[in-house]
Structure 1
Amino acid sequence: MARLLHHTLDPASRLARLMFAEYGVGVELEAIKPWSRDPLLLEINPAATVPILLVEDHEPPVVGALAVIHAIEERFSPTTVEGLFPATHAGRAEVWRLMEWVLSKLNDEVTRYVIEEKIVKRDQRGGTPDPSVLRVAKANLVEHMLYFNWLFATRHWIAGDVMTLADFALAAHLSCLDYLGDVTWETSVETRDWYARIKSRPAFRSLLSDRVPGMPAHRGYADLDF
């Protein structure tokens, strides 16, 4: 069985977990704290980031979000269920455009700051979050949500008429932020309705049962109807 090195609230790791679950493929999860810079982790990935996928003993580890996404799609995408990439060139281009938006822009402007301030600092010698950083991240999230609301007002799924990997990528990020209570769903009705649909999928169940020791999930995190 494949093994995934991850952190519970790392969105890229959550994306990989959603792919495995959607495709009905079992994977062994090994939780780590990448910011601890464990020598064993650094030996595998000097960048000290997750996810890291270990498939076979004789094969090198698959490191990083894009490499892991490709490996899961290449090795484990079944023919019995609909895949997460559209059949058309235009459809795939839109998926990758939105994937880049989420994995780069949303992450760099919002998610990584929230995780750093609320999770990493707390774990490192009891550090406290910087309110000014969180205010900026919150303001950036408002702008992102306005764009997502516009998309969901014109589409059933984020990249078009069918669910794709881009939906899982956005759901992975928003689920982390929702766990920490940083999403104001009341002002994001279109995105909230989409999120209610996607978090009702069987693939989402393990994410909704995640808990960080000493940090309970925000109220409503695991509720399918908010």
Structure 2
Amino acid sequence: MPSLVHHPLDPASRLIRLMCAEYGVPLDLEEIKPWLRDEALLAINPAATLPILFTDNEQSIVGLMATMHAVEDLYAPDTVGGLFPTDPMQRAEMWRLVEWALIKLNDEVTRYLIEEKIAKRDLRGATPEPSVLRAAKANFVEHMLYFNWLLASRSWVGGDDMTLADFALAAHFSTLDYMGDIDWAKVPAETRDWYSRIKSRPAFRTLLNDRVVAMPPSKGYADLDF
């Protein structure tokens, strides 16, 4: 059985878990805190980033981009379409939005909130910086406006069909939702509807069962509607 070195609230790890669950691939999960730069982690990945996938023959696949492609290449079923569109232009749009979620959204919102709310709990004397939290949440409002603009004219983030872009964005949304950083009462209907649909997929169940020690999820995190 493949195994995944991950952290429960790491969006990159969550994306790989969603992909594997969508394709019916069971995973053994090994939890780690990458910000502690454990020697065992550094020995496998000197960048100290997640996720790390070990295949059935225990070969390691390191880093998000490599792992996304490996999961698609190794595990996407032949009987149904995978998460990567076959049409070149649709695939280009998918990658544009995957990059938006994994780089722009992460760098302007999710990374800061995880550092302030999660990682700092392991640093003696460290406390969340209110100004950083305010800036990240203000940035998220701007991102949300763009996502809702997209979803007002599309069934899914990248177009008419669900793709990897939906899972990439949902991975970040689920982390932010767990930490209580999404006020769903203020989220436009198109985005709420999209998240409710993707949250209701069987692949999402494993994420909804996640719990972080001494940090319970926000109210409604595991609810399938709003």
TM-score range, shorter-chain basis? over 0.9
What corresponds to 1:120 in structure 2?
Answer: 119
Shift of 1:125: 2.5
State the distance in 1 between where 2:173 and 2:46 align.
27
CA offset digits 1:72-128 (Å, max 9, x no partner): 001111112331111211100000000010100000000000000000001222521
| Residue 166 (1) aligns with residue 165 (2) | yes
What corresponds to 2:75 in structure 1?
Answer: 76
- Counterpart code for 2:100: W
What corresponds to 1:216 in structure 2?
Answer: 216
Scaled by the length of structure 2, the TM-score of the pair is 0.97
State the distance in 1 between where 2:56 and 2:163 align.
27
State the distance in 2 between where 1:83 and 1:58 align.
24
State the distance in 2 between where 1:100 and 1:194 align.
19
Between 27-36 and 143-152, the greater mean CA deviation after superposition? 27-36
State the distance in 1 between where 2:147 and 2:44 align.
36
State the distance in 2 between where 1:69 and 1:46 align.
19
Question: Structure 2: where are the runs of 5+ without partners?
Answer: none
Change in Cα spacing, 1:23 to 1:41, as seen in structure 2 (3 Å) is: same
What corresponds to 2:51 in structure 1?
Answer: 51
SS of 1:212's equivalent in the other structure is coil
Shift of 1:186: 2.0
State the distance in 2 between where 1:200 and 1:126 align.
40
The Cα RMSD (Å) is 1.1
SS of 2:162's equivalent in the other structure is coil
Is the 1:113–1:134 contact (alpha carbons within 8 Å) kept by the matching residues of 2? yes
Residues 31-46 of structure 1: matches in 2 within 5 Å? 31-46=31-46
State the distance in 2 between where 1:58 and 1:122 align.
32
CA offset digits 1:150-178 (Å, max 9, x no partner): 00101000000000000000000000000
Identity %: 68
Scaled by the length of structure 1, the TM-score of the pair is 0.97
Change in Cα spacing, 1:2 to 1:107, as seen in structure 2 (3 Å) is: same
Change in Cα spacing, 1:121 to 1:79, as seen in structure 2 (3 Å) is: same
Question: Structure 1: where are the runs of 5+ without partners?
Answer: none
Shift of 1:17: 0.1
Residues 11-22 of structure 1: matches in 2 within 5 Å? 11-22=11-22
What corresponds to 2:142 in structure 1?
Answer: 143
SS of 2:118's equivalent in the other structure is helix
State the distance in 2 between where 1:118 and 1:147 align.
25
Residues 189-200 of structure 1: matches in 2 within 5 Å? 189=188, 190-200=190-200
SS of 2:152's equivalent in the other structure is helix
Is the 1:23–1:81 contact (alpha carbons within 8 Å) kept by the matching residues of 2? no
What corresponds to 2:24 in structure 1?
Answer: 24
State the distance in 1 between where 2:23 and 2:58 align.
24
SS of 2:111's equivalent in the other structure is helix
- Counterpart code for 1:108: D
| Residue 2 (1) aligns with residue 34 (2) | no
Change in Cα spacing, 1:126 to 1:213, as seen in structure 2 (3 Å) is: farther
What corresponds to 1:183 in structure 2?
Answer: 182
- Counterpart code for 1:22: E
SS of 1:66's equivalent in the other structure is helix
